[in-house]
Amino acid sequence: MGDRKKVNVERDRLSSLGDDLIHKILSLVSTKHAVETSVLSSRWRYIWTSISYLSLSSNDFCTLLKFSEFVTHVLSGRNNQIEVFSVELTFHRKVSRALFKRILDYAFSHNVQQLNVTYLPGKKTKFPVSLFSSQSLKHLALIGCIYGHFITTPPTWELPALVTLSLYRVTLYDDYTNKCASLFSNCANLKNLTIKRCRMMAPNGFNVSHPGLTSLTFEDGCKRVNVDTPQLKNLTIKDWRGMHLICAPILSSLHYKDPYFIHRNDIETFFDDVLVDNGLLQLSTHLLHLEKVEICIHHLYGDKAYTHKIVCLLQKLHSVKSLTLNWEIIKVCRYWFLMLSFTSNKDFQHKQM
């Protein structure tokens, strides 16, 4: 009898929680688990229908048919007067295009602002074009499958409200011949762009040309990228070969780390293409607004010509306030007077990276 009273007390405590708090709790679990809470009591029976977060994963179901039936139940049973703030989709198996499109159309018709899509079916697929035509979407993350099986996107994106875009293992097409235009030209409010391990289909280099972009990250790639971003403040390049920085006049933070496996010519491409005018394109060589620079290069060579390239790179950072170099750079650079010039009036530091 005592245990039954204790259970009733705990149930009353749950029922006494406000809707906002319950919604917050349910936003931390999958939609499947949120729907399952409807059996707790009459108070909880319809709570899930008014939450503004959807988290759907095909891995929560033994068959795609059951997953499809559950999605139908959720979308038809949900309170249509409530907007959808965030949607997280995870597909471990290939789903029908119709089901995929239905989820996206529902999200966009309810003014979704944040969308995360992870697609891991083991086969190349193309996202529905409707995914890239939303007036409300502000934050988008796309994650594809293993290398060789990429998410393929259409050549044009219509996301005027988009602020943050993260792409991982996605195939991107850039058919523009005008370097002033790029795939993201129609994303007028884009501020933060991350491209990681993506395959870029562009015959003359991939163009990132955007007037309002402030933060840009390239990681684990090899395609030459032409960057024209007058408002760019933060640039991160990790394990990327073939970078070509065109214009970033107010850049304040630069973080570069060379690929673990890299050919010597690829390293020189970084020096020539990112910070030095190589005569092929007009580059932003006067980086007068730099405040913080971190450079980590493990693949160094002892010849004078190559050492000279490193010195030239460091000389272009004369206005930086904080410079962090890994120990390999310090060892190969025998021009210690250059280092002393930094320490005289700048916050210069070196550490093992």
Contact call for residues 218 and 195 (beta carbons, < 8 A): yes
Is 341 or 323 the better-scoring residue by pLDDT?
323
pLDDT of residue 286: 66
Contact call for residues 253 and 228 (beta carbons, < 8 A): no
Over the stretch 236-276, which tens digit does the pLDDT of each residue have? 988 887 766 667 889 899 888 877 554 444 444 444 334 43
Tokens 């074009």 belong to residue: 129
Contact call for residues 243 and 218 (beta carbons, < 8 A): yes
pTM metric for this prediction: 0.81
One-letter amino acid of 219 = E
Across 112-116, 152-156, 189-193, least confident range: 152-156
pLDDT of residue 340: 47
- The mean pLDDT value of the chain amounts to 77
- Cα–Cα–Cα angle for 184, 189, 193, rounded to 5 degrees: 55
In order of 215, 272, 273, 285, 342, the CA distances from 279 in angstroms are: 26, 10, 10, 12, 29
pLDDT of residue 277: 35
Residue-wise DSSP of 164-182: EEEEESEEEE-----TT--
Tokens linked to 260 = 């673990």
Q: What is the mean pLDDT of residues 177-193?
A: 77
Q: How many helices (DSSP H) and strands (DSSP E) are in the chain?
A: 9, 19
Taken as a whole, the chain contains a residue count of 353
One-letter amino acid of 341 = S
d(C-alpha 101, C-alpha 107), whole Å? 10
d(C-alpha 101, C-alpha 333), whole Å? 56
